[in-house]
């Protein structure tokens, strides 16, 4: 990536890091928090998945809106919701109230993640898209690594409300970073003016429909893993005698691994076969899940979650860059709305599979179901057809 582009993108990466750090604080204890308010595993699955369900219906329209009106104000709206949500959690009186709070969070997230991705791709050189998305994912997952650790420590030592107050503070910081340091890119302004005078291009380049589907399945898998972590990881860890801080450490290794491998393999994806990296990453994730039932010690569980993170770090930037190579540049907000909708499909389906399967077959049954799903996505990546546009 050119240095000027890197400088322009740095505030966005910082905003993404701070925003994710905030909402991930509650991951180690959220299931316990919801169950203390009366939730069963099945209701917990619904509470977790409604966040993604709202994103499913709102991300594509929000992405289209950003293509027409600009991206920054929509991103700011999303970050405002991230700043106010934690206070709503503190004063929630029932498990059903969490459904409405999570729904508002899903709407806010629709205005953050696809818009941030589109802003980054708008400003990245075509030959540096893998690296650009690698750094985006690194910012996301390094915060996802640190947030649960901080949240677990705050929860264990300062009480259940402390992580929510810290989240509100971090959300405000992210909002201020975007407001003062992020500008609408010139390329976006040109696209907005062209949008009014030109007939819209096809969303997906001819011949790349199955490639788009396979690349979207990679982020679908990332969403499924996130759904498992948020819904089942604390209970899985508790069954092995781990505490909230231990769950935070597992998240630290998982997110740290994902971040580190995103940076390295984002660059590699700009130099070599993106299809190869997608396949290898998916396979690493499937194998890590397959071995999880055999893990009984903290070190074994941590290593396997590091393997899950490694798989996502290898596959995700290649998939995101390949999406940019094979879709319309003038409809990028919509493109990444669709792409993130695939991810949120995983966030919706993952917790539902986890919750209902756990009630019927226990945690081991959940892990078996997720292993089968990961294997199917790995096989599906073989249909990918690469474009020369980004190389």
Closest CA to 175 of 244, 83, 271, 92: 83
- Beta-bridge mates of residue 32: none
Closest CA to 182 of 19, 22, 329: 19
pLDDT above 70 as % of the chain: 92
126 vs 86, higher pLDDT:
86
* Average pLDDT, integer, range 236-240: 86
The pTM is what?
0.69
Report how far residue 366's alpha carbon sits from residue 44's, in angstroms, rounded to the nearest whole number.
15
Closest CA to 279 of 217, 186, 363, 365: 217
* Average pLDDT, integer, range 260-264: 85
Domain boundaries, the chain: 3-383
340 pLDDT above the threshold of 70: yes
Closest CA to 380 of 309, 319, 310: 319
The pLDDT confidence band at residue 7, using thresholds 50, 70 and 90, is: low
Closest CA to 75 of 141, 144, 15, 145: 15
Fold of the CATH domain 3-383: Growth Hormone; Chain: A; (1.20.1250)
336: left (phi over 0), alpha (psi -120 to 50) or beta: alpha
Q: How far is CA 167 from CA 83, 87, 90, 270, in A?
A: 7, 9, 11, 35
384 pLDDT above the threshold of 70: yes
347 pLDDT above the threshold of 60: yes
348 vs 160, higher pLDDT:
160
Q: Which residues of 340-363 are buried (b: 16+ CB within 10 A; e: fewer)?
A: bbbbbbbbbbbbbbbbbbbeeeeb
Closest CA to 227 of 349, 86, 103, 309: 349
271 pLDDT above the threshold of 70: yes
Report how far residue 169's alpha carbon sits from residue 162's, in angstroms, rounded to the nearest whole number.
11
Mean pLDDT over each residue of the chain, to the nearest integer: 82
Dihedral, CA atoms, 247, 16, 209, 129, nearest 10 degrees? -120
The pLDDT confidence band at residue 3, using thresholds 50, 70 and 90, is: very low
List all residues 6 or more positions away from 17 whose beta carbon is below 8 Å from its beta carbon. 139, 140, 142, 143
Q: How far is CA 290 from CA 87, 309, 375, in A?
A: 39, 14, 9
* pLDDT tens readout for residues 17-63: 888 888 788 888 888 889 889 888 788 878 877 887 888 788 888 88
Q: How far is CA 194 from CA 19, 104, 188, in A?
A: 32, 33, 10
pLDDT attached to residue 284:
93
Report how far residue 284's alpha carbon sits from residue 271's, in angstroms, rounded to the nearest whole number.
21
- Beta-bridge mates of residue 204: 327
pLDDT above 90 as % of the chain: 13
Q: Which residues of 92-103 are buried (b: 16+ CB within 10 A; e: fewer)?
A: eeebeebbebbb
List all residues 6 or more positions away from 106 whose beta carbon is below 8 Å from its beta carbon. 50, 51, 52, 53, 54, 55, 58, 344
273 pLDDT above the threshold of 90: no
The pLDDT confidence band at residue 281, using thresholds 50, 70 and 90, is: very high
pLDDT attached to residue 291:
93
Report how far residue 214's alpha carbon sits from residue 217's, in angstroms, rounded to the nearest whole number.
5
* pLDDT tens readout for residues 98-157: 999 999 988 888 888 778 888 887 877 767 777 787 788 788 878 877 888 888 889 888
Closest CA to 117 of 191, 58, 204, 59: 59
Looking at residue 204, the DSSP 8-state letter turns out to be B
Looking at residue 322, the DSSP 8-state letter turns out to be H
């Amino acid at each position: 990536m050119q240095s000027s582009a890197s400088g322009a993108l740095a505030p966005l990466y910082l905003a993404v890091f701070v925003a994710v750090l905030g909402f991930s604080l509650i991951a180690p204890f959220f299931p316990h928090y919801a169950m203390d308010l009366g939730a069963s595993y099945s209701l917990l699955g619904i509470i977790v998945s409604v966040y993604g369900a709202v994103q499913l219906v709102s991300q594509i329209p929000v992405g289209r809106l950003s293509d027409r009106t600009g991206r920054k104000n929509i991103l700011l709206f999303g970050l405002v919701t991230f700043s106010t949500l934690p206070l709503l959690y503190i004063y929630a009186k029932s498990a059903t109230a969490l459904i409405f709070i999570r729904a508002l969070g899903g709407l806010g997230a629709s205005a953050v993640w696809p818009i941030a991705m589109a802003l980054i791709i708008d400003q990245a050189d075509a030959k540096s898209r893998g690296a650009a998305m690698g750094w985006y994912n690194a910012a996301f997952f390094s915060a996802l690594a640190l947030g649960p650790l901080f949240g677990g420590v705050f929860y264990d030592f300062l009480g259940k409300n402390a992580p929510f107050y810290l989240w509100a503070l971090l959300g405000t910081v992210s909002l201020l970073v975007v407001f003062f340091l992020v500008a609408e890119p010139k390329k976006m302004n040109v696209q907005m003016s062209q949008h009014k005078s030109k007939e819209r291009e096809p969303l997906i380049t001819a011949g790349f429909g199955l490639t788009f589907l396979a690349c979207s399945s990679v982020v679908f898998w990332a969403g499924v893993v996130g759904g498992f972590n948020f819904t089942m990881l604390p209970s899985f860890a508790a069954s092995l005698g781990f505490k909230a801080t231990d769950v935070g450490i597992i998240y630290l290794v998982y997110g740290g691994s994902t971040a580190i491998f995103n940076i390295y393999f984002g660059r590699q994806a700009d130099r070599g076969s993106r299809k190869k990296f997608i396949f290898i990453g998916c396979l690493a994730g499937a194998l890590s899940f397959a071995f999880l039932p055999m893990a009984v010690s903290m070190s074994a569980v941590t290593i396997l979650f590091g393997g899950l993170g490694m798989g996502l770090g290898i596959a995700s930037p290649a998939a995101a860059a390949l999406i940019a190579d094979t879709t319309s540049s003038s409809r990028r907000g919509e493109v990444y709305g669709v792409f993130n909708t695939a991810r949120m499909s995983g966030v919706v389906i993952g917790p539902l599979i986890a919750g209902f399967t756990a009630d019927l077959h226990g945690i081991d049954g959940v892990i078996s179901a997720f292993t089968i799903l990961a294997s199917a996505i790995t096989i599906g990546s073989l249909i990918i057809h690469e474009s020369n546009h980004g190389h």
